[in-house]
Homo-oligomer: A and B are copies of this chain.
C-alpha cells in the first residue's frame, strides 16, 4: 500500500491544521508526495475544524480523501461524524477526555489532552495526537516528524513539542 489518507477533525483552536501541516511535511521528508487540505466555515461540514492529508509514492491527482486509513477525532462531534467508517476498517483514534467511549473494534481512545495538561500545555494535545497517529499507523516516520517540529519551533517550545510527540508515540503502543 503506497496510498494513505488521514482526516484530523475537531474544533477550531485545537491546532489540527498545524498538525496536518506537520504530518504533511514529515511525509515529504520521508520522500513521499503529499496533498494537505483544510476546510473552514460551512465547508468544514457543520462547524468541524478539518484537515486532510493524502500521502502517496506516486503523483496525487485526485486531491480529496475517499477512504481514510485513520481519523483523528478531538471532539464528540468529530467522532460522531466519522465513527461509521470504523465498520469499514477505518481506525478511529479519539481523545478520551473530549469524546465519549467508543467500544468498536477499530476505535481507540487515548489521553491526548490529559497528557498535554500533565505537561502544562493543555493546548498542545494536537502534538501528542500526532505522535500517536504516526506511531499507530506507521505511515510517517517519527524521525521526520521530529525534523518537521525542529524546523518550525524555537526553544523552549521545540523541546517541549518533541517531548509531547514522544509521549504520543508511547500512547499509541496498542493502536
Q: Identify which of B31, B43, B56, B59 contacts A59 (C-beta below 8 A).
A: B43
* A37/B35 in contact, CB under 8 A: yes
Q: Identify which of B41, B58, B63 contacts A33 (C-beta below 8 A).
A: B41
* B41/A32 in contact, CB under 8 A: yes
Question: In whole angstroms, what is the CA distance A64 to B37 when docked?
Answer: 10
Type the 1/0 row for A35-47, where 1 means its CB is closer than 8 Å to any CB of B.
1111111111000
* B25/A40 in contact, CB under 8 A: yes
Interface size class of A (residues with CB under 8 A): 20 to 34
* A59/B42 in contact, CB under 8 A: yes
Measured CB to CB, the closest approach of chain B to A26, in angstroms, equals: 10
Q: List A residues at the B interface (Cβ < 8 Å).
A: 17, 21, 24-25, 27-28, 31-44, 56, 58-60, 62-64
Q: Can you show 23 pairs from A to B with CB atoms below 8 A apart?
A: A17-B21, A21-B38, A24-B38, A24-B40, A25-B40, A27-B40, A28-B41, A32-B41, A33-B40, A33-B44, A34-B41, A35-B37, A35-B38, A36-B38, A36-B39, A36-B40, A37-B37, A37-B38, A43-B56, A43-B60, A62-B64, A63-B64, A64-B64
